[in-house]
Structure 1
């Protein structure tokens, strides 16, 4: 069977619309078509990435999901100390969005705004033009899940899912590190479990952005954790650390 010849019909249609088909640059037409298809593919990929980023962020391990909706604009500055903390946090956010990778530590007393500013950084990134994915994980909640998971497989599976998210994200906030050490009833077995979990997390987070919030001082963290854990998760550079000395924001 001979191939269908559309040359005649195409010429008649072109003539009907006043188009001289002989003046059409077929190569240019095909090039433009390929460019349109490439742009559509990029658009689809970006949309798909946004959906994945949003889903990952919304699956964060946090006690109150509403706390994920905190932004720099919500931070009320009432003294010089808070102004310094706020400016350092926004600077860190900008550096991360510019491609900087490393460890950042927010340390200070409870209620001083550490977690709020850490979440604000994540939201700043999520609303930017970067493709960085973000995740928030309460360390105490994850630790409890893994301990319960020793005897409860369904909880163990949930803990594995959280660890997968921690492994996958570009920017992680690991919240309230060190709080578990305040539990006086913690046994050596539980302490070893904690260290083992942190070793895994630290291994996942090599060459990525890690923001750790803690109520403990640097010296206290070094006494609590294995030196390798401390080295892999805690900021070494002074401009990557914020010491929160302002008043308790929960009383404002």
Structure 2
């Protein structure tokens, strides 16, 4: 930034006078005294100090602008990278239909989780489990959207991505045939390791066939382990409880799935919870 000369300032003030007093900070630089033509206020200052202040303010404005850009990029990552099923595109915590007391508890849990992560800075995983069709994915997407909007609102540079586990592995398998695919294994693992808040939906479905529970193949377990080993905050939905997860995965992977305070940050729909798909079908 170019320094403002005395001649330029002279046009803005009625009078500029160089004093005999030197600036205590800048040796050999004499203080100026100027008079504002409108207010007649007298200002005494060091010209070098004035320039430094201008540079400092400009630097702060630039830093704020750069922070805003980074925040916007983090915010837009959710829409760019998340894979949300078409029928759940509009899902939010607020439009989760409450039919039972358990539904109300689930909604309150989802709301509390977002507060834990945004305001309380909770570090650890969250798990929502229960039978298929009870609304776990709806709540997970609602949590993801609320987190993303909250981080934008408070200008926090935090990234949020939602992805179903089946879709994740399907795309990674397809990438075996395409060298430059964005879903190439190493690239995908590194990306999901770095996302601040990863919502991994329907974990276990990638390894199960129908009602049969069998241990996931080594490659899938290795990928999940690498992702979760290097993560702090992952929100997971699954049809399976702890005992069933131990049948699906190695103990070391289960430990990373349940990383965090599972006493407060785990919600389980009862096994007899009626599917929302059944409830919807009954309307016709």
TM interval, shorter chain, is 0.7 to 0.9
* Separation in 1, partners of 2:216, 2:266: 29
In structure 2, the residue matched to 1:110 is 132
Sort the Cα spacing of 1:196 and 1:107 in 2 relative to 1 into closer, same or farther, 3 A: same
Q: Distance in 2 between matches of 1:212 and 1:43?
A: 34
2:169 aligns to what SS in structure 1? helix
Contact 2:159/2:196 (8 A) holds in 1: yes
Residue 45 of structure 2 corresponds to: 25
Shift in CA distance, 197/171, structure 1 to aligned 2, threshold 3 Å: same
Q: Which runs of 5+ in 2 are unaligned?
A: 16-35
1:81-130 deviations in Å (ceiling 9; x for gaps)? 10111111111110011211101111011111111111111111111113
Whole-Å separation in 2 of the counterparts to 1:61 and 1:12: 58
Which ranges of structure 1 fall in alignment gaps of 5 or more residues? none
CA–CA separation in structure 2 for the residues paired with 1:7 and 1:72:
61
SS in 2 for 1:239: coil
- The 3-state SS of whatever aligns with 1:73 is coil
The aligned counterpart of 2:22 is none
Higher helix fraction (1 or 2): 1
Matched residue of 1:83: which SS? Answer: helix
Give the aligned partner of residue 24 of structure 2: none
TM-score by length of 2: 0.74
Partner in structure 2 of residue 247 of structure 1? 274
Q: Is the 8 A contact 2:190 2:227 kept in 1?
A: no
Rate the CA distance shift 1:190–1:196 in 2: closer, same or farther, 3 A.
same
**Shift of residue 199 of structure 1?**
1.7
How many angstroms does 1:240 deviate by?
1.0
Deviations 1:139-168 (A, max 9, x none): 111212233333442447455443333122
* Alpha-carbon separation, structure 1, partners of 2:184 and 2:248: 26
In the other structure, the counterpart of 1:51 is: 72
Distance, in Å, in 1 between the alignment partners of 2:71 and 2:114 is 19
Once residues 66 and 41 of structure 1 are traced to their aligned partners in structure 2, the CA distance between those partners, rounded to angstroms, is 42
Structure 2 equivalent of residue 221 of structure 1: 245
Alpha-carbon displacement from aligned partner over 1:29-53 (angstroms, at most 9, x marks no partner): 4465345324422431232122221
Distance 1:66 1:158, change over 3 A: farther
Partner of 2:28: none
The alpha-carbon deviation at position 223 of structure 1 amounts to: 1.1
- Match for 1:119 among 137, 141, 163? 141
CA contact (8 A) 1:145 1:155 kept: no
Count matched residues.
245
Q: Which segment is superposed worse, 29-38 or 135-144?
A: 29-38
Q: Indicate conservation of the 8 Å contact 1:105/1:211, yes or no.
A: yes
**In the alignment, is residue 204 of structure 1 matched against residue 230 of structure 2?**
yes
* Cα 1:232–1:139 shift into 2, 3 Å: same
Counterparts of 1:190 and 1:103 in 2: how far apart (Å)? Answer: 21
SS of the residue aligned with 2:14?
Answer: helix
- The structure having more radius of gyration, on CA atoms, is 2
Residue 27 of structure 2 corresponds to none
Select which of 54, 62, 68 maps to 2:83. 62
